[in-house]
Amino acid sequence: MEIPAEDIAPMARAVELAGHGHGTTSPNPVVGCVILDSAGQVAGEGFHAYAGGPHAEIVALAQAGERAKGGTAYVTLEPCDHTGRTGPCSLALLDAGVARVVVGVPDPTPKAAGGAARLRAHGVEVTSGVLAEQAERVNEEWLTCARLGRPHVTWKFAATLDGRSAAEDGTSQWITSPEARADVHRLRAAADAIVAGIGTVLADDPLLTARPAGQAAEGRAPLRVVVDPDGRTPPSARVLDGQAPTLVAVADDVRTGIEADLLRAPHHATDPQLAPDRESDPPRGDVDLIRVPRRGAGLDLEVLLRELAARGVVSVFLEGGPTLAGSFVGQGLVDRVVAYVAPALLGSGRAALGGAGVRTIGESHRLTFDEISEIGPDIRLIARPNPQPGREK
């Protein structure tokens, strides 16, 4: 589709505004909106700042006031057409007298979709697909969850230049620089859940929190998830310390060794499509236990992710050791890889990635680099998996 030149700058600004909502809107999407008046001048701007708060269109319309009449609204995600904690944005745009609406990405959820159709039915000109790739990228976590019924997964690892995540004696602190570690905490704070395996919990006793705590949105701490098939998480583990809510995932055929008084009743999802609900809040306690079917030596991670989605988790930040990472990669459940590579060599020791279902070079998991940047003395690489025929869910 050929994009009118005059639409590029305002939609690009709407995408930029949407990005301001990262880490604070879940389980809602990030959305940006720009309103131009009938003369083509910016009359209002807005973004969705937090779940339950006004949507981007409402913020921009309030700023635009009477100037919105006869103007154009640029919205990164199709205006919603349902009533939750806020009213339909489609009706708000109609009431304001907007003459044209430009959309980046259609809303994929049956509950909220239909805004474009309602606007067209009332004589508003609607153009869709403008800067769609950029609008998709800024909202990729929520769109992944809405479309697939599971959270978007970012796998993060730190390694030496020769791909080692720990030395031969098991030591790994610190492969990367303080600058890289600070960047990791920034990414952690923006996620809904931080996931690690029992091996990491037993070996390193990590907190799995975003530090300093102020990096996370006020009153919000990412859910800590321990993948523990055989229920070996010790009651003394720091991940159970109450600094943030914690979920321990065990196999459904074992008894956990975690003391019962640390746990509240297990929560089981009844509808895996609850995750895209743009108006619900995730129910979270201090420590919870969930039972998941086994898959091989581990757990069925897709079932685990759907259970997390039902709890309002839209984005997962995967950390920990190579075994769990290999399982996520092997099951096709990694949507983005963030690698911190230090200018150091070990020659032996633990690899960053364990078995990922690859037997021959033709089965390798191919990715495309999105970003290569310097973080202190280290390099940060961001890549996303390429579509791989035969591996689609």
Active centre residues (catalytic): 57
Six-digit token pair at 174? 């610190």
d(CA 18, CA 335): 20
Q: Parallel, antiparallel, or unpaired for β 125-128 and 100-105?
A: parallel
- List, in sequence order, every beta strand (DSSP E) within the chain: 32-36, 42-47, 72-77, 100-105, 125-128, 152-160, 164-166, 193-197, 223-227, 246-251, 287-292, 294-295, 298-299, 315-318, 336-342, 350-351, 367-375, 378-385
Six-digit token pair at 219? 């009153």
Q: Which residues contact 87 (CB under 8 A, 6 or more apart)?
A: none
Q: How far is CA 112 from the centre of its chain?
A: 19
Six-digit token pair at 158? 């730190």
What number of CA atoms fall less than 13 Å from residue 130's CA on the CB side?
25
d(CA 281, CA 191): 15
What number of CA atoms fall less than 13 Å from residue 223's CA on the CB side?
27
Helix (H, G, I), strand (E, B) or coil at 239: helix
Phi, psi of 35 (to 5 degrees): -110, 125
Place of tokens 């006031």: 65
